[in-house]
Amino acid sequence: MPINFNAPGAVGNAPYGNERTNAQGSPYLAASPTAMNAFSTSDLERAIFDTIFDTKPGNYFDSLKVLAFGKAPVSVPDDVYSWDESPMQRVFILVDDGASATGTVLTALQTAVANGYRTATIPVTAGQMGRVGINHNVMFTGGAQGVVTAKGATSITVTSLVSEGLPAIVQGAKLPTMGETVGDSTIGWKNTERGTKIQRTNYVATFRRAITYGRKEAAKLRLNSRNNNVEQDHKNLLYELKIDAMQNAWYGRKGVRLLSDGNYAKGMDGVYTQMKNAGSVFAGTTAANLVATFKANCVSSNQQSIGGTRKVYAHSKWLLYLSEEFKTSATRYKNTDSMANLDLERLHIAGQNYDLIPVDAFGDLSLFTQDCADRMFILDDSTIDPIKWSAFPMFDVGRIMAGQQSNYEDLPQNIQDNIQRQDFTVRDAELNFSIRMIEPRKSICLEITA
């Protein structure tokens, strides 16, 4: 007989029921009305059932393991947590008179004077004034340096070092600052500074999945009167919860959700959202330019120590493309070789390691939108931590709902509490976690077009 997989209930308008669940050979099969669709399966069919229905792609969750479940979570005392990030404080001075074209010479070259100084008045916008103080050193292209000796409304005066000149200053030049020069017996401070901090916040989100059985139905299913649907349902429950976690770990958005019962629940910011909010590099590239763009952005965001490792998350098609391009000029083989290995596991570029991790779930339209399949994330995993609320376990199974039975022979909990009887057995799983991403500028997202 064929293998049937039917949801409980839908007989006699009952929400849940055990009318269809019958042991093999039960006379109830022949006595049941056609509309009841009573059925059973053999032991062989039960084994086939397990095989067919337990074929979820496990590699879907490799990225989730690395992002969230492969590290010890950071425990915080609330479901709202915050952390401070300090952006780059040093910003170059931009030469700008507000009128000239880029490259126009605004101040001519001044040659050195023995034992003397040269000065130049350099135009800058009012917004640049806060970037430099009196006695700050500035650096010019070519290695020359000067000291800011005065500040006007729209310009700064720079004085050369002893016996040195000043280069020509052009519109659009970027002059890095090098700190304040302090002389012997200097009293007080010409400049005081306070670092700029950015406070980032996120929520610890709660996700839940639950399955419900009638009391008698659950007992029959647990005792394997036909198929071990209970075990299969429990596996599927956890699988669906992992899907929820993976989707939100990547693309969750912090915010408060109004629920159907009038209550509110908090959502979490995922990796993509935090990178967007923090101004991480999002570089567009075609497939043909992927390797060049990949290398250029890896080098430009290279802020780890030598030998550091970043993870490259993308659909397998793009990792294969990357592998083939890198191996084109470096593959060595003999005519006796019988296996072609087109995949690379790690790249080493400019002192850094890049581990390639396939996330084929990005290409599953049941889980992610179409544009997700064509994104490649290059993440510094050392900046990413899972967060849990210390008031609750990060993961909990079957201990939340009031109707939980510890054993199918027990009375339902609400019977023991003298509450109105409901013969339902609930199996639930709950996850409380979030993602914290510190210094997202160390990570990159490449958005690939054909």
CB 29 within 8 A of CB 40: yes
Cα 293 to Cα 18, 96, 282, 286, 449: the distances in Å are: 60, 31, 11, 9, 12
Instruction: Give me the pLDDT at residue 219, please.
Output: 76
Cα 338 to Cα 28, 91, 335, 341: the distances in Å are: 60, 56, 8, 10
CB 125 within 8 A of CB 94: yes
Per DSSP bridges, beta strands 198-203 and 80-85 are: antiparallel
At residue 272, the 3 state secondary structure works out as: helix
| CB atoms near residue 41 (< 10 Å) | 18
Q: Kindly compute the dihedral angle of the four CA atoms of residues 403, 409, 411, 412, in this order, to the nearest 10 degrees.
A: 10
| CB atoms near residue 245 (< 10 Å) | 24
Instruction: Give me the pLDDT at residue 76, please.
Output: 92
Query: What is the distance of C-alpha 341 from the center of its chain?
Result: 30
Q: Rounded mean pLDDT of the chain? A: 80
| Multiple choice CATH, 93-180, 3.30.450, 1.10.287, 2.40.30, 2.40.160 | 2.40.30
Higher pLDDT, 341 or 274: 274
Which residue type occupies 26?
S
Place of tokens 């000065």: 119
> What does the pLDDT look like over 274-331, one tens digit per residue?
999 988 889 999 998 988 898 888 887 776 656 578 889 999 888 888 877 776 666 6
Give the DSSP per-residue string, 389-444: ETTS-SEEES-SSTT--SSTTSPPHHHHTT-----EEEEEEEEEEEEEES-GGG-E
Q: What is the largest CA-CA distance in the chain?
A: 115
**Three-point CA angle 433, 258, 396, nearest 5°:** 30
> What does the pLDDT look like over 377-389, one tens digit per residue?
999 888 899 999 9
Cβ neighbourhood burial of 63 (10 Å; 0-12, 13-18, 19+): buried
**DSSP state, residue 66:** I
Q: Which CATH class is domain 56-88+195-328+343-450?
A: alpha beta
Copy the structure tokens of residue 214. Answer: 């009638």
d(CA 240, CA 84): 34
| CB atoms near residue 166 (< 10 Å) | 24
> What does the pLDDT look like over 232-288, one tens digit per residue?
788 888 888 988 999 999 999 999 988 888 899 999 999 999 999 988 889 999 998
Copy the structure tokens of residue 117. Answer: 């100084």
| Residue 217 pLDDT exceeds 70 | yes
The residue extents of the domains of the chain are 1-44, 56-88+195-328+343-450, 93-180
Instruction: Give me the pLDDT at residue 387, please.
Output: 93
| Residue 421 pLDDT exceeds 70 | no
Copy the structure tokens of residue 345. Answer: 């596991």
> What does the pLDDT look like over 15-63, one tens digit per residue?
445 666 666 667 777 777 776 666 665 554 555 555 555 566 767 777 8
Q: Residues 324-344, buried b or exposed e (16+ Cβ, 10 A)?
A: ebbeeeeeeeeeeeeeeeeeb
d(CA 136, CA 145): 10
Copy the structure tokens of residue 145. Answer: 């340096």
